A and B are shown apart, each in its own frame.
Chain A
Amino acid sequence: RKEVEQDPGPFNVPEGATVAFNCTYSNSASQSFFWYRQDCRKEPKLLMSVYSSGNEDGRFTAQLNRASQYISLLIRDSKLSDSATYLCVVNLAGSARQLTFGSGTQLTVLP
């Protein structure tokens, strides 16, 4: 079993749609959680951290369920510029800065 598993993609949605990505992690000792965004042939960029109480940043909402070891990302009112691969990332307790990435979910927002 992979340490971090994400929804299989790709997701193709029209502009203005709401889309949700899910992610599960296997290690209950995981301590920090993030969503990164990666454009084609570019480096990953931090989209947002994920907190236990859930958090929102504009059109983006992240949720964490520690009991189910589940993370989600909701994008409302999708824009063409949201087209990218979204990577679910966890950091194990005690593993310093070692980030464990999921394989990513590709999103294409269509005009």
Chain B
Amino acid sequence: DAGVTQSPTHLIKTRGQHVTLRCSPISGHKSVSWYQQVLGQGPQFIFQYYEKEERGRGNFPDRFSARQFPNYSSELNVNALLLGDSALYLCASSLGTGGGQPQHFGDGTRLSIL
């Protein structure tokens, strides 16, 4: 079975541009979460979606937005890119929203801002 898939794998943008990152969860998983990981740090929570509704939001500016589609895939959008947005963006899926359920991560999208 396919794991969590993310696209693109790498992306280079310039300041002020916007970007859309995509994620397909494991088949049957209805919950998708997004994380940002900057070099040398652990992943930091951005959003969680379940059944197309936002269930959680981390401490990120409004430039960050996301949505989930009927097939449970998800998009993360970032507007007005800043140099500090350079990071690995990770998507994770799980069956539901129970705290004890393991999350499975995709390979991530490596975003570089010039």
Number of A residues, CB within 8 Å of B: 24
Q: How far is the CA of A79 from the CA of B33 in the complex (A)?
A: 32
Q: How far is the CA of A34 from the CA of B101 in the complex (A)?
A: 10
Q: How far is the CA of A101 from the CA of B50 in the complex (A)?
A: 21
Q: How far is the CA of A31 from the CA of B44 in the complex (A)?
A: 18
Smallest CB–CB gap between A79 and chain B, Å? Answer: 23
Residues A87 and B56 in contact in the complex (CB < 8 Å), given A44-B105, A46-B102, A97-B99: no
Interface residues of B in 26-47 (CB under 8 A from A): 31, 33, 35, 40-45
9-residue interface stretch from A12-20, A53-61, A67-75, A88-96: A88-96
Number of B residues, CB within 8 Å of A: 28
Consensus secondary structure, chain A interface: strand
The residue on A at minimum CB distance from B102 is: A46
Q: Which A residues contact B (CB, under 8 angstroms)?
A: 4, 31-32, 34, 42-46, 49, 87, 89, 91, 93, 95-104
Interface contacts beyond A97-B56, A102-B42: sample of 6 additional A-B pairs, CB < 8 Å, sorted by A: A31-B100, A96-B31, A97-B33, A97-B50, A98-B45, A103-B41
